[in-house]
Amino acid sequence: MAPELVDKHQQTLDKAVQALHERTFFAWFPENPSPEIYGENADKEGRGKYTSYLNHKFEELQQQDPEQWVGQEESPYEQQPLGIQYPYFPVNTLIARSEEAFQEWRKVKPADRAALLVESLERVRSRFFEIAYATMHTTGQAFMMSFQASGPHAADRALEAVAAGYEELTRFPGSAEWEKQMGKYSVRLHKSWMAVPKGISLVIGCSTFPTWNTVPGMYASLVTGNPVIVKPHPKAVLPIAIVIAEVQKVLAENGYNPAVCQLAVDADDHLITKELAEHRKVKLIDYTGSTEFGNYIERLPGKIVFTEKTGVNSVILDSVEDLDKVVQNLAFSVSLYSGQMCTAPQNFFIPAPGVKAGEELVPYEVVVQKLADAVSSLVNNPKAAPHVLGAIQNPATVERVKAGVSGRTILSSCDFTNPLFANARTCSPVIYEVDAADKAAYSKELFGPIILVIKTKDTAQSVELAAEMAVTYGAISCAAYTTDPAVKERIKDEMGMTGTPVSFNLTGGIYVNQNASFSDYHVTGGNPAGNASFTNPEFVVKRFTWVGFREPAG
């Protein structure tokens, strides 16, 4: 490896490590896809590059001699197959190549590994637009979210994982001279320590955020010396395939085995995730997806696993300064990407007497109607709706919305058209009122644009129920609105004990759905919604083991 690569990226690493400690705003990759930042023709070229992949083999990967070429992706906007094919390899081939690469990769110095990985992210920077179109046409995200989430935000999350791993690997000295006085004489030892990686890492991606949710575990394992096999969702492969291609190119250019990071795809008639996960040579597993499959992953013997599963996210409405601003903010939160975000709010706990707005007590029914009106206003705005709601990734989500929920219907879904994509698979948010006593109705995640309003006797019951849902079924986010400091502290205490982060009194351009790299911990690992967090020290230190060596000195 060229030593100048370490020098080239050392400042980036130093700033990223500093950002981890400060927790203030830090973004190495600009989120605004403006011509001034990324080039006047970047959008056009990225769109053209994406189009060139359609109905062709994806041949950028440095993975030779595939058994066959496969592909299952479909655009939620066109509802047509993308026709892209990826190289398929049997599990034993992937494992054997990963094992071979491991013997080399584990011996690379942490600083060199970190520099190589930052270099790969800088290469990915030039491909943000094609990744955006790839994300758009595999997940259904609108273009701006696709660009930000799969491009800059994902790259920042990856850099965050690299910085965290790099810091932990360099926290302690590699060697030391140890001396203990024993009366008239002393014992002197030379001691050294080695960070030993755990072994082959499997990263299982999801269909809605194929890079943002994949790169943290992928880069955390790579920086700590573990080879990685990335197994994306079969309906969302292209965005992460582009990233893996760049990692492989950087590895090969610098004399390393590109099998350090491999793409593993399902055959059309054979799903390989379980076969990979259960393989005795796989030691680490990162997983994002359903609770059912996540529980299976967590129960596998002999594995160290990092999971993000589903959660039941709550909104607690107690008192506000401006109710109209609050419902507009919440309407955007539930509509963003049609509720297909793990942080999207679902259960709205509203006291029966109503919500205090300034000095006025707004009756419960009025609050609920204002929320419904705010959602309707957004959905019926032809300039905003397509760019906020996007499209539905999975047809099962549409069926879930159409099936409805037992309870009083407050707002029904309506069709809205995308002016650019007449065949887009869409549905707008629905709102149902369910009884607080009917816990079965609101104790599971209803993935998609489904909002449940639960009438409670008071805020105390709202907090109690929100906390019960989080500790029993998991929660990834919580939005709370109160102008009472005592109520705020109670919510912080009770929700904090459930391992659920709380966003208080958000209005304007910041939403409960959003998490910032280098500042917000995504998932806490403190409740059933997941056992890991992007990116705390545990997310990286569990991927290697410190081993010491000592001998007499001198």
pLDDT tier, 127 (very low <50, low <70, confident <90, very high otherwise): very high
> Residue 358: phi, psi to the nearest 5?
65, -125
pLDDT at residue 35, rounded to an integer? 81
Average pLDDT over residues 407-430: 90
pLDDT of residue 438: 93
404 pLDDT band, cuts 50/70/90, is confident
The 10s digit of each residue's pLDDT in 56-99 is: 999 999 999 999 999 999 999 999 999 999 999 999 999 999 99
Domain, as residue range, for 60: 40-170+193-308
Distance CA 378, CA 274 (A): 41
Which position has the token pair 């509203």? 350
State what percent of residues in the chain have pLDDT above 70. 100
CATH of the domain at 446: 3.40.309.10
Q: Are 225 and 195 in contact (CB under 8 A)?
A: yes
400 and 446 in a single domain? The answer is: yes
Which tokens go with 350?
Answer: 């509203």
Whether residue 318 sits in one domain with residue 299: no
Residues 6+ apart with CB under 8 A from 421: 77, 78, 391
For residue 201, is it within any domain?
A: yes
- Per-residue burial over 213-231, b = 16 or more CB atoms within 10 Å of its CB, e = otherwise: bbbbbbbbbbbbbbbbbbb
Do residue 255 and residue 301 come from a single domain?
yes
Distance from the Cα of residue 133 to its chain's centroid: 18
Residue 82 in any domain: the answer is yes
Residue 471 lies in a domain: yes
- The pLDDT-based confidence of 1 (bands split at 50, 70, 90) is low
Same domain, 468 and 345: yes
In a domain, 187, yes or no: no
| AA identity, residue 477 | S
Cis peptide before 535 (omega within 30 of 0): yes
Q: What residue type is 30 in one-letter code?
A: P
Task: Using the 3D structure, point to which of 277, 308, 339 is the last residue of a domain.
Answer: 308
Instruction: Please answer whether residues 523 and 530 qualify as being in contact, where contact means their C-beta atoms are separated by less than 8 angstroms.
Output: yes
Same domain assignment for residues 301 and 318: no
Question: CA–CA separation, 236 vs 212, rounded Å?
Answer: 12
139 and 288 part of one domain: yes
Average pLDDT over residues 415-427: 90
Choosing from 488, 504, 520, the residue where a domain stops is 504
> How high is the pLDDT of residue 96?
98
What is the mean predicted confidence (pLDDT) over 395-419?
89
Q: What is the pLDDT of residue 119?
A: 98
Q: Are residue 244 and residue 368 in the same domain, yes or no?
A: no
Residue 58 lies in a domain: yes
- Predicted local distance difference test score (pLDDT) of residue 100: 98
Range 198-213 average pLDDT: 98
Residue 346 has what pLDDT?
97
The total number of structural domains in the chain stands at 2
Task: With beta carbons less than 8 A apart as the criterion, state whether 205 and 232 touch.
Answer: yes
pLDDT digits (tens, 9 = 90+) for 214-225: 999 999 999 999
**What SS3 class is residue 151?**
coil
Q: Judge whether 3 lies within some domain.
A: no
Band of residue 451 on the pLDDT scale cut at 50, 70, 90: very high
Higher pLDDT, 268 or 97: 97
Give pLDDT tens digits for 533-547.
Answer: 999 999 999 999 999
Are 252 and 386 members of one domain?
no
Strand partners, 228: 201, 261
Q: Do 415 and 346 share a structural domain?
A: yes
Q: Are residues 321 and 463 in the same domain?
A: yes
Q: Is 551 helix (H, G, I), strand (E, B) or coil?
A: strand
Q: How far apart are the first and last CA of the chain?
A: 34
Least confident of 149-158, 230-239, 381-390: 381-390
Average pLDDT over residues 420-430: 94
Domain contains 109: yes
Mean pLDDT of the chain: 96
User: Residue 141: which CATH number?
Assistant: 3.40.605.10
pLDDT band with cut points at 50, 70 and 90 for residue 2: low
Count of residues making up the chain: 554
pLDDT range class, residue 414, cuts 50, 70, 90 = confident
Determine contact, residues 223/248, Cβ cutoff 8 Å: no
Q: What is the pLDDT of residues 285-321, one digit of tens each?
A: 999 999 999 999 999 999 999 999 999 999 999 999 9
Say what the pLDDT of residue 406 is: 85
Q: Which residue's structure tokens are 């594995």?
A: 303
Q: In angstroms, how far is CA 214 from the centroid of its own chain?
A: 7
Higher pLDDT, 372 or 405: 372
Domain assignment of residue 45, yes or no: yes
pLDDT at 417: 84
Residues 215 and 326 in one domain: no
Q: Are residues 215 and 87 in the same domain?
A: yes
